[in-house]
Amino acid sequence: MEYKVSENVSAALKAVTADAKVQEALQFMEDDQENIIQKQIELTLIPAPTFHEEKKAARLMEMFREEGLDDVHIDEYGNVVGVRKGTGGGKNVLLEGHMDTVFALDTPLEIRRENGWIYCPGITDDTRGCAAVLSTLRGLNKAGITTKGDIHFVGTVQEEGMGALRGMQYYVHIY
């Protein structure tokens, strides 16, 4: 099956990526890759099976604060939330990665680099998503990109298995 992107979406993407500030942000994100990988590794080494994301949430919250987000907090459900304020009059946007993994609390977590690959339980699903959220935030900040709407940067809990996306469900219903 072939997937076709509509002409409207394709034209909009070309217009956005042609913007000099967006190009600057994208280049920064590429150049900043090793820094983001280090943040990803740091988060990976914090065990966070479903229903046990507290320690990873605390560190992600610190990272959000370090990047200058407003209203950074852990909501009553356990999701980490930070807001990048817009100028007003635009739609809010949500960028999210989930913090839990399928691995038990006592799973050995050791980073191994081999042939350009990084190996460790939980390094990708979805710690990479959390790292991508941070990378996007850093790129926007570096390029000085402003938005009309607020951008909500969120690390959600209880995505895996019996978690059944509960953190995300809670977030979209409350906010």
> What are 32-48's pLDDT values in tens digits?
999 999 999 999 999 99
- Asked if 168 contacts 65 with a C-beta cutoff of 8 angstroms, the reply is no
* Total residues belonging to the chain: 175
pLDDT, greater one: 170 or 158:
158
> What are 103-127's pLDDT values in tens digits?
999 999 999 999 999 999 999 988 9
Domain ranges of the chain: 7-174
In this prediction, residue 152 carries a pLDDT of: 97
- Catalytic residues, which ones? 100, 159
In this prediction, residue 175 carries a pLDDT of: 72
Model confidence at 99: pLDDT above 90 = yes
**Taking the complete model, does pTM exceed 0.85, yes or no?**
yes
Model confidence at 133: pLDDT above 80 = yes
Q: Is CATH 3.40.630.10 the classification given to domain 7-174? A: yes
> What are 148-157's pLDDT values in tens digits?
999 999 999 9
